[in-house]
Amino acid sequence: MNHKQEFYKTQANSILEKCQKRGMQGHYCETKEEALAYVSSLFSENASISWGGSESIREIGLFDYLKNTSYTLYDRATAKTPEEQKALYAKTVTADYFLMSTNAITLDGQLVNVDGNGNRVACLVSGPEHVIIVAGMNKVVPDVEAGIARVHNMAAPPNAIRLNRQTPCHDFGRCSDCLSADCMCSNTVITRKSNKPGRLIVVLVGEELGY
């Protein structure tokens, strides 16, 4: 373990202690491979699973893993019409497990998330029985304000490019506090506590994941 890895582990354990006090479960994985093994071990038999858009989940290999299982998957990307999308979302909120990352996590264990349509943060707040949140240590910030700034200037611009959104952050690489039709920063949710202890499972990974 090099010095940076040791620092990540120390910092992550400190953050996860704070998460525990906020009613969230916490676990640290040093690598993407370890994170995949840990998260996949959490699913109960015959589970139903859904997810919000997440490059972090993709990067640890979880989507590829799920394709080769017998779990019931609610994947909104398979919807071909608005009606199918609505029906899939209705199933998503009843899923046993919802997978996502967080846009930022503070040193005192708060989750910072900013969404466009709000489906991801809605499931974080209420609905699915368990929410598994996978985040690389690049998502760690000092406080909520820094977390919001991180979303606007570090996460939103590459996401806008990935999704081909016509926003100022797509064109200029920084937030312009826009109100454009393609704005991805419509809903801001700060999770400071889980009122259902253990429902939120925070998995920190000692690598850079996502945006």
Give the pLDDT confidence of 112-143 residue by residue, as tens digits: 999 988 889 999 999 999 999 999 999 999 99
Q: What is the mean pLDDT of residues 82-111?
A: 94
The mean per-residue pLDDT over the stretch 80-85 comes to 88
CA distance 168 to 48: 38
Query: In the structure encoding, which two tokens stand for residue 132, read together?
Result: 């598994």
pTM of the full structure: 0.94
Q: What is the pLDDT of residue 172?
A: 84
Instruction: For residues 200-206, give the mean pLDDT.
Output: 98
Is the model's pLDDT at 70 over the cut of 90?
yes
Q: How confident is the model at residue 163 (pLDDT cuts 50, 70, 90)?
A: confident
With bands split at pLDDT 50, 70 and 90, how would you rate the model's confidence at 53? confident
Q: What is the mean pLDDT of residues 54-66?
A: 96
Say if residues 136 and 210 touch (Cβ distance below 8 Å).
yes
pLDDT band at 155 (very low <50, low <70, confident <90, very high): confident
Ranges of beta strands (E only) in 32-191 are: 48-51, 72-74, 97-100, 104-106, 111-115, 130-136, 140-141, 187-191
pLDDT of residue 56: 96
